[in-house]
Structure 1
Amino acid sequence: MKFGFALRRLALTGPGKAPAEVTFTRGLNVIAGPSDSGKSFIAQCLDYALGGGAAPKEIPEAEGYSTVVLEIEAYSDGRIYSLERSLRGGEVLCKTDGQSDRVLAAKHQGGKEDTVSQFLLDLSGLGTKKVRTNEQGKTRPLSFRDIARLVIIDEETVIKEDSPILSGQVIHKTVESGVFRLLLTGTDNSSIVAKEDPKVAKGRQAGKVELLEGLLKATRERLAELGEVSTLAEERDRLTRIEASIQTSLIERNAAQASVAPLQTRRSTAWTALKAVESKLAVLSELQTRFDLLEQQYESDLRRLVAIAEAGVRLDQLKEERCPMCGALAEHQHHDHREAHPAPADVSQACKAEAAKTSKLLQDLQTTRAANASEVEQHQTARATRQAEFDAISAELKALMQQHVDVASKKVDDLRARAETCRKVIEHLERVQELEELLDEANKPKKKQKTDVAGAAVSTAQADPFSREVEALLKSWHFPDLDRVSFSENDQDVVISGRARKSHGKGVRAITRAAFNLALLRLCIEDERPFPNFVLIDSPLLVYEEPDADEASFPQDIKRHFWESVKASFTDAQVIIIENRNQVPDVGTLSKVNVIRFTGNDQGRRGFIPEARGDK
């Protein structure tokens, strides 16, 4: 079996308390006993360990117990998991050999992996399924709580008149029918594209109208700022005329520019000649400045050389009396320490020769400088001439430009400004027209459109294979006067021999409710559809225990056929029946069945929870 899991052991533990536990096997399991022996408490503990929101009811026998432990075995790989949850609430601790312990959130959260709901859905093959929540096709992830009510049927639910599919809460009807359809067909609602909620659509439409009105008002205000405005057609015609005038004015401006072209050429030539003279003058002026600096240098050198020559003559005339180094008199001087130096007369002669050469260079420089100064003066005269010629041509050109070209250019600029204003007016008029059309469309009453989303209720045709399974089970139980079992689309429940299931007394409703849930289990097994593949039913044979007035004559042999059929039909899955001890047959009929019998007294096992020491 690819999907689902089997319940192996349920236990209550607490400090200093002997564990209260029951074990289960595949196939049929029976928990039998009198009232107040803890049978229904077992069903509550199972549901709680599997993520149920309500903790088990407080009973005196459970005082001191703190934790529910449920062992389950995955059908896919045989791995055993232990789910532990405090009776005070909180999350679920999941343990298994070879893996780290996991804390699973008790409450389902779509998209979250670490929840007990997602863990159980994955084991059941339903981990990625979605269900529809309303008529518009909105969907949400499936929760194990959506499935739990179809596999754990307590003693109160088993006799209800409502459909086994439905909880009786109108707001959940779409989801509950969608879950049943998913189990019957294997197809969920993931592909449905949700239709917009009418209230949301109405609010969105009102917002759209408000937005369009605001945009229209703002556009009209900007249009008013542009001055007097005609109709859209007139403004377009006006723009056409302005653009034609622009073309004519451009031709006139081009002709005016052509008339001054020769003068512009002359001005350009004069400008080039002026810049050439100025460039040559700048070079000559720079040379003249450098010549002046060189002349100053030569004159400085000459003065220095003359001074050195005169000093040499004077030094040569002096008598040497004492050593300039040590101060010794001549007769005491030793000349081995003296260094060779030229005589002052030689130095004086060398300076005079160098001065003669420098004087010659100075004369040459002065000649060159005079020639350069003359050339500078000539270029200054030429520059003044060129500048006057350029200024005269520029004045003439300016006068012609003002008379012809500038007038034509101004006319073109004015026309272009008018054209731009006209384009803005046209743009705003077109925007106003567009917004008015959108606003008219938004204010029109919307016709109701039929949704393409299929109805939420399970149809008779979709449930036909399921109806045949219910019919087969009831036949195997020898249900009286059985004719045909069908499915009512309105009630979302089976119709047995032409009579609605809910119209029977509570006893018959209980046994037919058992047929409903067991048929769903068998259909999923035969078609290999995703499903937890276990079912627990509390008190399906109530018709024999507390019959209504019209159920007193209900055939007794149905009870025997019920046990034989369930025992033989679900050997590969798991069925747990909780029933009063009077309705459970002897060992022969239930041979090889896991039967847990509570006696309610000291003869055998009293109940689910062991009797405390000292209690009688």
Structure 2
Amino acid sequence: MTIILNKLTVTGPGKTPAFLDFNQKSHLVLGPTDTGKSYIIECLRYCLGSNQRPKDIGYSEGYTRISLQIILSNGEEYTLFRDLIEGGESVYPGLHINPPQIEASPLSQEISQLLVSWGNGSGKKILIKSGELGNFTAGDLRRVSIFDEIETLENAPFEGRDTNLKTRNRSALTLVLTGSDDSDVVLPPSTKKLHIAKGHIEALLEEIKDLKENIPAEMTKHEAEENLSSVSIAIDRINSYLQNHTTELESLKNEHLRLDNENHLLISRISALTEAKNRFLLLDKKYINDCQRLQAISAAASIVTSFETRSCPLCLTDISHQSRHMSENDITSVLWQAAQAESEKIIDLRKGLELALVDISEKLSALSKNLEENLTLITTNIECQEKLISPISPISKGNLTELNERKTLLIIAVRDFERIERLESRLEEMQTQVKRTKKNTEKDVSQSATLLCNRVKSLLNEWEVPGVECIDFDKTISDIKINQRKRVSFGKGKRGIFLTAYMVALMEHAVSNDYPSLGIIIIDSPLVTYKDPKHTSDDPEEVISEVVKNKFYTWLANRKVIGQIIVLENEEPDKRLKSKLFITEFVGPDKKNGRAGFFPI
């Protein structure tokens, strides 16, 4: 099923409606620059489900709603409404200028959903990224149906420039060309899954490396298992022997614990008494220093009275007449007596301190003797325990703790070996998945491509485009080649006419075979003449001749085959063709005779 455009209308409060009647026919919209042709393209794209609202061009100010009347190939009529302010949309059965208020209710589906259904694309799956399927959408249909001037003349293959969309664009065009989707394709991992797998591989390699570093370099799994078995047997023997001597060993261990605690207590007491002794010795030294100081003061006080009072050697002032000097002469005897008394007091203190030091020394001697005896008992206890254990086996010369530690290390090593084996198996699986990414998911399009290329060449010959000898399809970029040259390698003018032939042929091929297609081609400036200052107007790479232009318009006027073609151009056909074409002509705002542009002025 396909759609046919009937009428485009733009309305707004208090504004004269702007409209374009297609009358269900292929149509030419003719006019110079700034007459609203690009706005018409944007309105049609917007009404057909695009999220991109038409750009304001000045004349469009105040207009708030677009309506597009369409008729399906089965005769059903619908009107698509889009809000220019808030972006809302609705679809009503029948042909309307404004949304009906009472007589009809809008359809529940969105425009994009309806377009996919009307365009035979429902349920179709395409490859949207490497290893990832997605739905065929209205956007894919619009991409092969609507072309503004930039897209018509763009110097890029049809797969597009955006690397994120190239896979999708190629898959969508293959579906339109062959009618076969990608739902049955055996997919390699998607790019996202591939990156995850590569990250997983790096993590596995890193973990394997860490595990191997924890294992002795020359040890094998077999050696680790044998050593573990030997150590386990030795430990079992020791444990068996110990179970038979549990009571005796327990008694020795308890005694060892008691002796060890007593040993710590003795050491603590000896340390405290030693510290006290050292402090007392330091105090005794202080007392000695104090006695020596007091003796010096006493000696000085006893001889100071024998000195004769003399005048100042500098100023010869006599001091004897000063009353303070006379009163202080009596202090000397008091100072001597005080020093003597303090010295005798310190001597008495030293005697008491000496007795305390003797007592501490005796206690330290006794504690040291006890400590020595206790250490002897501990040594004897350890020897008894060793003698009790020694008959077990030659391997038990190392104690049980060391054997248990050895067993633990061997258990960890064996587990690491087993973990490495599992990781290496997982690594091999992940590496196999990564290697499988280079699967050929492309389909054989040769038969459909041949039919397409034949139709493109037929159209170009009918339009008398010069120099076209052969047309080929390059599936790697979803574009055609002319005389073994890529379409984009030609000049601007020829790129446009070649794209037009390519898309018209693709639409006709899809519709005739009931492949996904809207059945319309809307294209802006397919006959543009590009006159670069560096080239003459006769440059065959850049200029579309008058012959091609007239042949193209003749073809458009006489066209009776599949689909609807809407052409927007500023290249005017000759007068004899105008009467044959379904044409809407804009003359521009400066001319009085004729319609100025899309919007009323």
Report the TM-score, using the length of structure 2 for normalisation.
Answer: 0.58
Q: What is the number of equivalent residue pairs in this alignment?
A: 400
Please name the residue that 1:201 is paired with: 197
- Aligned-pair CA distance for 1:202: 2.4
Q: Quick one: distance in 1 between partners of 2:469 and 2:57?
A: 45
8 A Cα contact 2:28 2:581, kept in partner: no
- Aligned-pair CA distance for 1:51: 2.0
Out of 154, 159, 168, the position equivalent to 2:153 is 159
Gap change, CA 1:568 and 1:605, over 3 Å in 2: same
- Aligned-pair CA distance for 1:601: 4.5
- Structure 2 unaligned segments of length 5 or more: list them: 100-107, 213-223, 234-410
Counterparts of residues 112-511 of structure 1 (less than 5 Å): 114-135=109-130, 137-163=131-157, 165-196=158-189, 197-205=193-201, 434-442=418-426, 449-451=435-437, 453-455=439-441, 463-511=449-497
Gap change, CA 1:609 and 1:467, over 3 Å in 2: closer
The one-letter code sitting in structure 2 at the alignment partner of 1:574 is Q
8 A Cα contact 1:477 1:565, kept in partner: yes
Gap change, CA 1:577 and 1:546, over 3 Å in 2: farther
- Aligned-pair CA distance for 1:564: 1.9
Gap change, CA 1:204 and 1:536, over 3 Å in 2: same
Counterparts of residues 43-62 of structure 1 (less than 5 Å): 43-62=41-60
Please name the residue that 2:316 is paired with: none
- Aligned-pair CA distance for 1:551: 5.5
Q: Say which SS state the counterpart of residue 9 (structure 2) adopts.
A: strand
Q: Quick one: distance in 2 between partners of 1:494 and 1:551?
A: 26
8 A Cα contact 1:505 1:550, kept in partner: no
Out of 571, 574, 583, the position equivalent to 1:585 is 574
Please name the residue that 1:607 is paired with: 596
Matched, 1:568 2:558: yes
The one-letter code sitting in structure 2 at the alignment partner of 1:541 is L
The one-letter code sitting in structure 2 at the alignment partner of 1:119 is L
8 A Cα contact 2:5 2:71, kept in partner: yes
- Aligned-pair CA distance for 1:130: 1.7
8 A Cα contact 2:186 2:441, kept in partner: no
8 A Cα contact 1:10 1:21, kept in partner: yes
Q: Say which SS state the counterpart of residue 549 (structure 1) adopts.
A: coil
8 A Cα contact 1:484 1:496, kept in partner: yes
Gap change, CA 1:141 and 1:235, over 3 Å in 2: farther
Counterparts of residues 541-560 of structure 1 (less than 5 Å): 541-543=527-529, 549=535, 552=538, 554-560=544-550
8 A Cα contact 1:507 1:547, kept in partner: no
Q: Say which SS state the counterpart of residue 576 (structure 1) adopts.
A: strand
Q: Say which SS state the counterpart of residue 26 (structure 2) adopts.
A: strand
Gap change, CA 1:15 and 1:448, over 3 Å in 2: closer
8 A Cα contact 2:556 2:581, kept in partner: no
- Aligned-pair CA distance for 1:498: 3.1
Q: Quick one: distance in 2 between partners of 1:50 and 1:212?
A: 56
Q: Quick one: distance in 1 between partners of 2:151 and 2:15?
A: 32
Q: Say which SS state the counterpart of residue 555 (structure 2) adopts.
A: helix
Q: Quick one: distance in 1 between partners of 2:447 and 2:144?
A: 21
8 A Cα contact 2:32 2:586, kept in partner: no
Q: Quick one: distance in 2 between partners of 1:182 and 1:470?
A: 18
Please name the residue that 1:242 is paired with: none
Please name the residue that 1:84 is paired with: 81
CA displacement, residues 289-327 of structure 1 (integer Å, 9 cap, x when unaligned): xxxxxxxxxxxxxxxxxxxxxxxxxxxxxxxxxxxxxxx
Q: Say which SS state the counterpart of residue 575 (structure 2) adopts.
A: coil
- Aligned-pair CA distance for 1:92: 1.1
Q: Quick one: distance in 1 between partners of 2:530 and 2:185?
A: 46
Q: Say which SS state the counterpart of residue 120 (structure 1) adopts.
A: helix
8 A Cα contact 1:37 1:606, kept in partner: no
Counterparts of residues 75-114 of structure 1 (less than 5 Å): 75=73, 77-97=74-94, 114=109
- Aligned-pair CA distance for 1:544: 7.5
Q: Say which SS state the counterpart of residue 44 (structure 1) adopts.
A: helix
Gap change, CA 1:151 and 1:114, over 3 Å in 2: same
Q: Quick one: distance in 1 between partners of 2:591 and 2:468?
A: 43
- Taking every aligned residue pair, what percent have the same amino acid on both sides? 26
The one-letter code sitting in structure 2 at the alignment partner of 1:148 is R
Tell which structure's C-alpha radius of gyration is larger: 1
The one-letter code sitting in structure 1 at the alignment partner of 2:9 is A
Q: Quick one: distance in 1 between partners of 2:125 and 2:40?
A: 31
8 A Cα contact 1:158 1:537, kept in partner: yes
Q: Quick one: distance in 1 between partners of 2:7 and 2:205?
A: 64
The one-letter code sitting in structure 1 at the alignment partner of 2:551 is H
- Aligned-pair CA distance for 1:141: 1.1
Q: Say which SS state the counterpart of residue 70 (structure 2) adopts.
A: strand
The one-letter code sitting in structure 2 at the alignment partner of 1:510 is G
8 A Cα contact 1:506 1:548, kept in partner: no
